[in-house]
Structure 1
Amino acid sequence: MTHDPALEAHEHREHAEHAAHEHDSFISQVSITVAVLAVLAASIGSLETVEAGGAITAASEAVLSQDQATDAWNEYQADSLKKHLYGIAAAAPGPKAEEFARTAREQVEKQAEIKKRAQEGEAERDKLMAQSRLHEHRHHWLTGAATMVEIGIAICTVAIITRRRQFWLGSILLAVIGLGLFGAAYLT
């Protein structure tokens, strides 16, 4: 059985609408509270999904950036070996010694460009990982916020059934806590 906050909120709203037909002002107030909380829960749930997707996307892009940086570092190391081989060949007497020395110097210049590319890839990876952590942080806070609001909806249903104001006030308190967690997701 999957957890679908929107479906659960819809079911609670239907129960509240049914009870509202009894023309009891308390029941009407609680029914309106259920409707408001259902919209709030759906909105927070949507943002929670967006943040989870953002965390996954940023982490995936970070892996790609790391792969590119690793490829560049591998190329850098290969060129380092070539530079040393050409340097050894240039040190030996022979007709191509100057050509080998020139090629060794070219490898040094090429390595500088490759090193820069590798470091840029690592910097991009670090930036994307920070973005992923931020999205994940928000996702966790939003999960708590949605949970509080959904529990508030369920307690509103109990308030309708029992006609007890304390349950209704408790559900409003849970919604306020949920809103606090929602704010914490974007302020911390």
Structure 2
Amino acid sequence: MDELPSEHMEHAEHAEHAVHEGNQFFITVSATIAVLAVVAAVIASFETTETGAAISDKNSAVLRQAQASDEWAYYQARSIKQKMFELAADEHPDKADDYRKQAKHYEEDNIEEKRKADELQKQRDEFLEAGERHEGRHHGLTLAETMVHVGIAVATVSIITKGQRWPWYGSILLGIAGIIWAAWTYLAHP
């Protein structure tokens, strides 16, 4: 979640005023804002990592599907050739042995082609599952990061309102909720 540079400046400006006033509560709120900003940055880093992993895994799944499709096409082409040689063996008894040998060759090759195609489809499914897991984490981390960012904004209300404590308490709760949500995201999408 990108923030505008002016948002950081505004939070820093409120914190600076608090320090100049020498009010211990304002200094505590400013420290809370700093801690929440670090927590938000850490969560954002994890979110970015999960986004990249989701994209990478889903791209790998698409590649495996394309490769599997190629293998299946090759398998089908060879199956058609096998069937043609079997029919030719029935139609031309004088060359039946050669045709049956060719048909057997294609049949044996197709066992390996089918195995390759099945393996590629299995890999595709594994990459899709991993991509979904990473995407689920991304969404959870986005929500967690948003909670922490809202907590930062709410904390500044304590300074703006000249020492009201309820916004500061709310910001701490939002920060804790964001941390818990981020942790739960990893537990829910192992």
TM-score, normalised with respect to structure 1: 0.94
Contact 1:155/1:167 (CA < 8 Å) preserved in 2?
yes
* Structure-2 change in CA distance of 1:52 and 1:151 (3 Å): same
Contact 1:80/1:111 (CA < 8 Å) preserved in 2?
yes
* Structure-2 change in CA distance of 1:171 and 1:141 (3 Å): same
Contact 2:40/2:148 (CA < 8 Å) preserved in 1?
yes
1:5 aligns with 2:3: yes
Corresponding residue of 1:114? 113
Contact 1:86/1:100 (CA < 8 Å) preserved in 2?
yes
Corresponding residue of 1:71? 70
**Shift of the alpha carbon at 1:14?**
4.2
**Shift of the alpha carbon at 1:6?**
7.8
Contact 1:9/1:153 (CA < 8 Å) preserved in 2?
no
Partner secondary structure for residue 21 of structure 2: coil
Partner secondary structure for residue 83 of structure 1: helix
Instruction: Calculate percent identity across the aligned residue pairs.
Output: 45
For 1:175 and 1:9, locate their aligned partners in 2 and report how far apart those are by CA, in whole Å.
Answer: 18
The amino acid of 1:165's aligned partner reads R
Tell me which moved more, 9-18 or 162-171: 9-18
For 2:7 and 2:169, locate their aligned partners in 1 and report how far apart those are by CA, in whole Å.
Answer: 18
Contact 2:14/2:160 (CA < 8 Å) preserved in 1?
no
Corresponding residue of 1:148? 147
1:165 aligns with 2:184: no
The amino acid of 2:70's aligned partner reads D
Contact 1:5/1:45 (CA < 8 Å) preserved in 2?
no
**Shift of the alpha carbon at 1:94?**
4.6
TM-score, normalised with respect to structure 2: 0.93
1:21 aligns with 2:5: no
**Shift of the alpha carbon at 1:36?**
0.3
Corresponding residue of 2:58? 59
Give CA deviations for 1:71-91 in whole Å, capped at 9, x if unaligned.
Answer: 111111111100000001111
Q: Any unmatched runs of 5+ in structure 2?
A: none
For 1:152 and 1:118, locate their aligned partners in 2 and report how far apart those are by CA, in whole Å.
Answer: 51
The amino acid of 2:16's aligned partner reads E
Contact 1:9/1:150 (CA < 8 Å) preserved in 2?
no
For 1:122 and 1:5, locate their aligned partners in 2 and report how far apart those are by CA, in whole Å.
Answer: 41
* Structure-2 change in CA distance of 1:183 and 1:44 (3 Å): same
**Shift of the alpha carbon at 1:140?**
0.8
For 1:98 and 1:32, locate their aligned partners in 2 and report how far apart those are by CA, in whole Å.
Answer: 88
* Structure-2 change in CA distance of 1:40 and 1:173 (3 Å): same
